[in-house]
């Protein structure tokens, strides 16, 4: 009988990365929806992106090692960039009275320009915090550690 393994190499990283990417896209869409509803860009959404991505990477990949943490941090950063871009598209769509998908189609070739036009130092701070939370919380195991049963 094999005792419980506390190895952080358990799990399947590619599935964790896929789950984290899906979570990053969903979190970015939520970020844009909140921005469209409030007409206000909330930088703290980056923290939420980090949490959601970290949980998805851990849950889908069933692991919590360093590779999971690095993957979650990178995906959280990409999710933050996408969220900021989609938020800018939502604002542009509201201002120009067009559908958001039309605004995305027009602005997508200018992704870097859209991000840089609205970029500030605080964006960098929130992106770093989001990536940190993605890294930090991807290392926490999903379940409590079990100790092996010792024979009597």
CA distance 113 to 28: 18
What confidence tens digit (pLDDT) does each residue in 21-36 have? 999 999 999 988 998 8
What does the DSSP 8-state code read for residue 100? H
Angle subtended at Cα 63 by Cα 138 and Cα 12, rounded to the nearest 5 degrees:
125
CA distance 64 to 142: 8
What confidence tens digit (pLDDT) does each residue in 117-149 have? 888 888 889 889 989 988 988 887 766 556 666
Both tokens assigned to 103 = 């605004």
Please tell me the predicted confidence (pLDDT) of residue 1: 35
CA distance 143 to 145: 6
CA distances from 139 to 41, 68, 112 (A): 29, 7, 31
Looking at every residue in the chain, the average pLDDT score rounds to 84
pLDDT band at 57; cut points 50, 70, 90: very high
pTM: 0.81
Compute how many other C-beta atoms are within 10 angstroms of the C-beta atom of residue 140.
11
CA distances from 18 to 50, 78, 88 (A): 15, 13, 25
What does the DSSP 8-state code read for residue 7? -
Compute how many other C-beta atoms are within 10 angstroms of the C-beta atom of residue 70.
15
Please indicate whether residue 1 or residue 136 has the higher confidence score (pLDDT): 136
Closest CA to 56 of 144, 143, 138, 139: 138
Please tell me the predicted confidence (pLDDT) of residue 98: 92
Residue 40 phi, psi (nearest 5): -140, 130
Average pLDDT over residues 81-91: 90
Please tell me the predicted confidence (pLDDT) of residue 110: 92
Average pLDDT over residues 63-82: 91
């Amino acid at each position: 009988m094999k005792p419980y393994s506390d190895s952080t190499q358990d799990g399947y990283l590619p599935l964790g990365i896929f789950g984290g990417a899906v979570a990053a896209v969903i979190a970015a869409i939520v970020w844009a929806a909140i921005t469209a509803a409030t007409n206000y860009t909330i930088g703290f959404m980056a923290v939420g992106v980090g949490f959601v991505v970290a949980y998805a990477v851990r849950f889908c990949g069933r692991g919590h090692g360093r590779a999971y943490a690095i993957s979650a941090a990178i995906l959280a950063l990409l999710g933050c960039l996408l969220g900021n871009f989609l938020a800018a598209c939502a604002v542009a769509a509201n201002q120009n009275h067009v559908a958001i998908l039309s605004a995305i189609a027009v602005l997508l070739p200018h992704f870097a320009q859209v991000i840089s036009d609205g970029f500030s130092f605080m964006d960098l701070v929130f992106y770093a915090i989001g990536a940190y939370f993605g890294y930090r919380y991807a290392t926490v195991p999903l379940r409590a550690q079990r100790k092996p049963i010792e024979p009597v």
